[in-house]
Amino acid sequence: MHTFQLNGQPVSVNVEPDMPLLWVLRDELGHTGTKFGCGVAACGACTVHVDGAALRSCVMPVVAVAGKSVHTIERQDDPVLQRLQAAWVQHQVPQCGYCQSGMLMAASALLRSKPQPSDDDIDAAMTNICRCGTYQRVRAAIHTAASKGGAA
């Protein structure tokens, strides 16, 4: 049995310890906002927060999050994420939308660590792949969310 906090709630799952967190979230717990993209931690579609850090869940075994706090795109009480989502709409970031949950999770971790990031900060933190190529809109949306922010 593996126990951790998911979006502020305790959860326990009875799965193999090496099962990737992504599949635990999607298949065992029904949190399908976190997407499968590549399976090798390259694309970032599976990005979640583990104890506040943006991490790729497709390669993280569930045993690695035992006793930790995991947040997904389904988190409802996150003002930073809410600001980013509004900025995403304002700047029309999504095209196909598949990568967006991972992008938003990476961006919210960035704004928590650097509330007023530079373009270089954004470029360094946003390693997620978007096949639609909306990187300039992502950068603009992050700046907009940062300008409307306060303490997170």
Enumerate the H helices of 1-152 as residue ranges: 21-23, 79-90, 100-113, 119-125, 135-147
| Domains in the chain: boundaries | 2-71, 79-147
Q: How confident is the model at residue 152 (pLDDT cuts 50, 70, 90)?
A: very low
Instruction: Give the mean pLDDT of 56-62.
Output: 98
Instruction: Tell me what pLDDT residue 132 has.
Output: 87
Counting residues of the chain whose pLDDT is more than 90, the rounded percentage is 89
Instruction: Tell me what pLDDT residue 93 has.
Output: 94
- The correct answer on CATH 3.75.10.10 for the domain covering 2-71 is no
pLDDT at 150 over 90: no
Burial of 150 (0-12, 13-18, 19+ CB in 10 A): exposed
CATH code for the structural domain at 79-147: 1.10.150.120
Q: How far is residue 55's CA from residue 44's CA, in Å, rounded to a whole number? A: 8
Residue 129 CA: distances (Å) to CA of 100, 123, 149: 10, 12, 25
Sequence-ordered list of residues with C-beta below 8 angstroms from that of 141, at least 6 positions apart, any chain: 84, 87, 88, 90, 91, 93, 107
Any idea how long the chain is?
Answer: 152
The three-class DSSP label of residue 147 is helix
What is this structure's pTM?
A: 0.93
Q: How confident is the model at residue 91 (pLDDT cuts 50, 70, 90)?
A: very high
Q: Are 2 and 13 in contact (CB under 8 A)?
A: yes
